[in-house]
Amino acid sequence: MVSPGRQRPQAAGRPECVPDEDVLKVGVVGLGWAGQQHLEAYAARSDVQVVALAGMEADLLASLGEAHGVTHRVARWQDLLEVEGLDAVSIAVPTALHAPIAVAALERGLHVLCEKPIARDAPEAATMVEAARSAGRVLEVVFNHRQRGDVQALRQLVASGQVGRPYAARSWWLRRRGIPMLGSWFTNAEASGGGPLVDIGVHCLDWALHVLGEPRVVAASAVTFSELGPRGLGGSRGGSKSLSGDVSAYEVEDLAHAFLRLEGGGLLQLETSWAVFREPVDQMGMTVRGTDGGAELVVEGNPDPVGELRLFTDSPLTADGEAADRTVPVEPGRGHAAVVDAFVDVVRSGAAAWKDHDGSLALDRARIIDACYASARENREVQL
């Protein structure tokens, strides 16, 4: 007798009913904002079932488990990996736990979708990539901001040649009061691996290289500052506990600037802050300078779904002889939903595709961030 399959809310382009034997069984570790984004994205697919949740917050574990019909609810991630029949795991926990959970899951033959940054540093990230390669399984890292509609539109402007050859770019994400949970794992160097450079700066780096067509970074020169956080200034979110349960001293930067040399002579500048005296509203964006034009994307007030994208060129000219600069229309992107869809589709596409999704891109990002931190620490340019 053929199973009637699963009836679930239909995502765009997804079948309404999928035989039970074809449903991907997933576990989610971490119950915070990111973990909930994973849960909602999986729930929108008829070919995925979240069968296990892990998290230390008992009330949240119960409510999310009930809302999504999750059978297995455990506090420890180790217990989640014991659940029979799992195919894949989403990891949305503090950065220090990414590598231990991912490696253990991959060694069990599970596919892994991990929140950014991939790990605290590149050597730790390399253990995850090696585990994925050894297991022959997928390791993907969540770079949800490259899925923004405005970032995709900027990428299309560059790819279509409308700015000519891009030779200089700047990417930024600036907060005035955005230190996440002063005294928590975020501000503990051992638990987090760093401050805004590794937290939100890795997004700036990822979307910029994505827009520019993945040029190779050959050298990094960076400076970091820690001026407000140690004085208890710049915090915007609740919570004050580290992974050990104690309040942590502020041990990371709150502002970072990086100058990245690209292969072929190009330049990418990064600027990122959790706390700095500036306009009250958060701002993120990217500027591209090209031989035939330029483009600038500015997003005010994260997480605003759509920013303003402008294209600057000398041709065609207006009737008054002025450059015909224009605002480019953009649509909202799908963020985590698009990332989860891509992950599931790769897993379902079969082993031939898995080897191209082993976390290598995220490892490359980690090596660049490490070079920036080394440059700031040693006061010199670092070659990659």
Q: Minimum mean pLDDT among 1-15, 195-209, 261-275, 276-290: which range?
A: 1-15
Check whether 218 has a pLDDT greater than 60.
Answer: yes
DSSP sequence for 264-319: TS-EEEEEEESB-SS-SS-EEEEEEEESS-EEEEEEESTT-S--EEEEE-SSSB-T
For the chain, the average pLDDT equals 91
Check whether 232 has a pLDDT greater than 50.
Answer: yes
What count of Cα atoms within 13 Å lies in the side-chain half-sphere of residue 294? 11
pLDDT confidence of 321, banded at 50, 70, 90? Answer: low
Walk me through the domains of the chain, giving residue ranges and CATH numbers.
6-143+338-358 (3.40.50.720), 145-333+367-383 (3.30.360.10)
The DSSP element (H or E) to which 125 belongs, if any, is helix 122-135
pLDDT confidence of 324, banded at 50, 70, 90? Answer: confident
The 8 Å CB, 24+ separation contacts for 343-352 are: 343/88, 343/111, 343/113, 343/138, 343/140, 344/24, 344/42, 344/45, 344/47, 344/48, 344/88, 346/138, 346/140, 347/24, 347/87, 347/88, 347/111, 347/138, 348/24, 348/47, 351/136
177-193 pLDDT per residue, tens: 999 988 889 999 999 99
Q: Which stretch, 6-15, 128-137, 326-335, has highest mean pLDDT?
A: 128-137
Report d(CA 147, CA 145) in Å as an integer. Answer: 5
272-299 pLDDT per residue, tens: 999 999 999 999 999 999 999 999 999 9
pTM across the whole model? 0.91
Check whether 14 has a pLDDT greater than 70.
Answer: no
Share above pLDDT 70 across residues of the chain, in percent, rounded to a whole number:
88
pLDDT confidence of 18, banded at 50, 70, 90? Answer: low
Q: Minimum mean pLDDT among 13-22, 41-50, 85-94, 360-369: which range?
A: 13-22
Q: Cα separations (Å) of 121 from 127, 181, 198, 274, 363?
A: 11, 21, 9, 20, 9
pLDDT confidence of 258, banded at 50, 70, 90? Answer: very high
